[in-house]
Amino acid sequence: MNNSMMTCCACGIINHNIQCFSILFFPLEEIRKFKGYQQNIVSIIDCFDYNQKQDAMMGQNQIYCNNCHLMANALTQTKIIVSPNILVINLNRGKGLMYDIKIIFDEYLEIKDYIYYNESPHYYELIGVATHLGTSDMSGHFIAFCKNSNNLKWYKYNDAIVTESSFQEAASFGVPYVLFYSYIQK
């Protein structure tokens, strides 16, 4: 669940809008610009930073405040309230899949700083990666990498061909499109 918070700049009242989510969408091109990167490299932590940045709603984007009873400038921010058991991250590459943006991600992820009530660590383990091979979103081939929960080995699924693999291959093969993380109880 996400908490979309909107703070009225006139009176300081915070309105909360609780929403369920099943997939986090991270727009890589916007994230690259947000971080001010000249290079086309974005980390998964950059994505979480972007997702929870504070935005100013001003001018024509002002909001109506139920407390002030007028249109006012506001600050908005979204934080995760309840972390899901399976965290699905869509690396939105936009039109043409933005093949020139490289995403850096780890096999393990800790997102405590991105949880609204961040009293305890929130660890996740990567269990799957959907990648794309090809020159554009109009052609190519999707390949999946999955970690077996019984033997803890990585496997590469290329249509009917399944071969043993590794996290290193999953992280560097093709263009990552969707990441699947599983919550770890510690």
Q: What is the pLDDT of residues 133-162, one digit of tens each?
A: 876 666 778 999 999 999 999 999 999 999
User: Taking a C-beta distance cutoff of 8 angstroms, is the pair 58, 38 a contact?
Assistant: no
pLDDT over 60 at 98, yes or no: no
DSSP string across 53-67:
--EEE-GGG-EEETT
Lowest mean pLDDT among 78-87, 95-104, 166-175: 95-104
Instruction: Let me know if residue 63 belongs to a domain.
Output: no
- pLDDT, tens digit, for every residue of 58-88? 999 998 888 888 899 999 888 888 788 899 9
What is the number of domains present in the chain? 1
Q: Domain range for residue 129?
A: 20-52+82-184
User: How far is the first Cα of the chain from the last one, in angstroms, to the nearest whole number?
Assistant: 21
- Residues 119-146, mean pLDDT to the nearest whole number: 85
**CA-to-CA separations, 133 to 42, 91, 97, in angstroms, rounded:** 19, 15, 11
Instruction: Let me know if residue 10 belongs to a domain.
Output: no
Instruction: Let me know if residue 26 belongs to a domain.
Output: yes
Instruction: Let me know if residue 75 belongs to a domain.
Output: no
| 36 against 3, higher pLDDT | 36
User: Taking a C-beta distance cutoff of 8 angstroms, is the pair 167, 177 a contact?
Assistant: no
DSSP secondary structure code for residue 32 in this structure: H
Instruction: Let me know if residue 179 belongs to a domain.
Output: yes
Domain CATH number, residue 139:
3.90.70.10
**Averaged pLDDT score across all residues of the chain:** 86
